[in-house]
C-alpha cells in the first residue's frame, strides 16, 4: 500500500486535535503588562513619522536600558508611542523634551479602566491647580485628573472606573457629569476628516469655498464645503460628514467600542431609519355605504 499523503490543511487539523497530554506539555508565554507613554510634537508642522527611527531608539534606550518593548507611530494622530516594562521607566521618559532634534511633549494615557466625563458652567477664573482641589467625588469613585477644556467653562474629569458618577462637587455645589465626547479629528490644511495637518500630504483647501488656496486669501461670496459640497464651511457642524463622525464618537463613548465598530453601527442605524422614512403610509380603503 502507498502511504497516505495529507495536505498542509489536514496536517494542521491533526495537530490541533492531538492528545491533551501533548498539549499540556506546551505552556503559554506569560503576558506582560506594558506601560505606555505618548510623545507629541511641540510644533504642529513636525511629523513624527519622519523622525529618524534608529536615532530615536538609540536615545531612548540610553535613558531606560532594557525597558522598551515597542515603539510605534500613529501617523493619523501624529503621535509616537513607547511601551516599557515597568512604570518607573515612565518617570524617566517624562523628562524627554527632544527627539531627533525636534521639541516634543509627553503624555501618559490614563488606561482602559478610566472613564472621562465633563461638567459645565465652571468659572474661567479658577485655575487648573485650584480645580484639582475644588472638584470632589460624591461617591467612592476616585478622580485621577481634572482639566479645563481650553478657555471655556467646561471641565473634563477622568475617573478610575468603568462608569461615570451622576454628580461631582465643585466646592460645595453639585454639578451633573455628562459623558465627554471628543471633537472630530479634522485636518486644517485639506479639511478632510481623520488626520491632522502636520502629517497631511494633500494640497491646501480653503474651508470657505473649497478652492485650492489659503483661507485668508479667499474672496468668495458663496460658501462651499469640500467634504460634502454643501453650502456651508468645511468646519461647520451642519456638514453631514461631521455630523456622522460626531455620531460615531458618541457611539464609541457609549459602547466603549472601536471606531470601526461604532461606524458600522451608525451606518446600520441610518439605513434602517432611511428605510422607515421611505415607506409611504398606506391609505385605508373607503367603505361604500
Q: Which of 124, 189, 172, 112 is nearest to 152 (CA)?
A: 124
Cβ(262)–Cβ(252) below 8 Å:
yes
- pTM, two decimals, is 0.63
Cβ(241)–Cβ(249) below 8 Å:
no
116: β partners: 158
Name all domains of the chain by residue range, CATH numbers in brackets: 35-107 (3.30.70.330), 114-179 (3.30.70), 240-272 (no CATH)
Q: What is the pLDDT of residue 150?
A: 86
Which of the 8 DSSP states describes residue 8?
Answer: H
Q: What is the pLDDT of residue 1?
A: 44
Per-residue pLDDT tens listing for the chain (289 residues): 444 555 555 555 555 544 444 333 333 333 445 788 999 998 888 889 899 999 999 999 999 999 999 999 998 889 999 999 987 888 889 889 999 999 998 887 776 678 899 999 999 999 888 998 999 999 888 888 888 998 899 999 988 888 899 999 999 999 999 999 989 999 999 999 988 887 888 999 999 999 999 999 999 999 999 999 999 999 999 999 999 999 999 998 888 888 889 999 999 988 888 888 887 665 554 454 4
Amino acid at each position: 500500500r502507498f502511504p497516505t499523503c495529507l495536505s498542509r490543511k489536514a496536517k494542521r487539523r491533526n495537530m490541533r486535535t492531538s492528545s491533551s497530554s501533548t498539549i499540556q506539555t506546551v505552556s503559554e508565554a506569560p503576558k506582560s503588562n506594558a506601560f505606555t507613554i505618548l510623545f507629541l510634537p511641540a510644533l504642529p508642522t513636525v511629523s513624527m513619522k519622519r523622525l529618524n527611527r534608529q536615532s530615536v531608539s538609540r536615545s531612548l534606550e540610553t535613558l531606560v536600558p532594557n525597558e522598551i518593548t515597542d515603539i510605534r507611530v500613529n501617523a493619523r494622530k501624529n503621535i509616537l508611542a513607547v511601551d516599557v516594562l515597568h512604570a518607573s521607566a515612565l518617570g524617566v521618559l517624562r523628562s524627554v523634551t527632544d527627539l531627533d532634534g525636534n521639541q516634543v511633549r509627553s503624555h501618559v494615557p490614563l488606561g482602559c479602566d478610566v472613564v472621562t466625563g465633563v461638567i459645565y458652567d465652571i468659572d474661567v477664573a479658577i485655575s487648573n491647580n485650584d480645580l484639582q482641589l475644588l472638584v470632589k467625588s460624591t461617591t467612592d469613585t476616585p478622580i485621577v485628573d481634572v482639566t479645563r477644556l481650553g478657555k471655556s467653562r467646561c471641565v473634563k474629569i477622568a475617573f478610575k472606573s468603568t462608569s461615570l458618577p451622576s454628580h461631582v462637587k465643585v466646592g460645595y455645589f453639585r454639578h451633573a457629569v455628562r459623558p465627554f465626547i471628543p471633537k472630530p479629528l479634522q485636518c486644517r490644511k485639506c479639511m478632510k476628516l481623520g488626520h491632522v495637518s502636520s502629517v497631511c500630504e494633500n494640497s491646501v483647501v480653503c474651508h470657505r469655498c473649497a478652492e485650492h488656496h489659503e483661507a485668508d486669501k479667499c474672496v468668495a461670496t458663496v460658501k462651499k464645503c469640500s467634504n460634502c459640497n454643501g453650502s456651508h464651511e468645511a468646519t461647520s457642524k451642519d456638514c453631514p460628514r461631521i455630523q456622522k463622525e460626531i455620531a460615531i464618537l458618541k457611539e464609541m463613548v457609549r459602547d466603549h467600542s472601536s471606531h470601526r465598530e461604532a461606524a458600522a453601527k451608525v451606518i446600520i442605524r441610518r439605513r434602517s431609519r432611511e428605510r422607515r422614512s421611505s415607506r409611504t403610509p398606506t391609505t385605508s380603503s373607503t367603505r361604500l355605504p
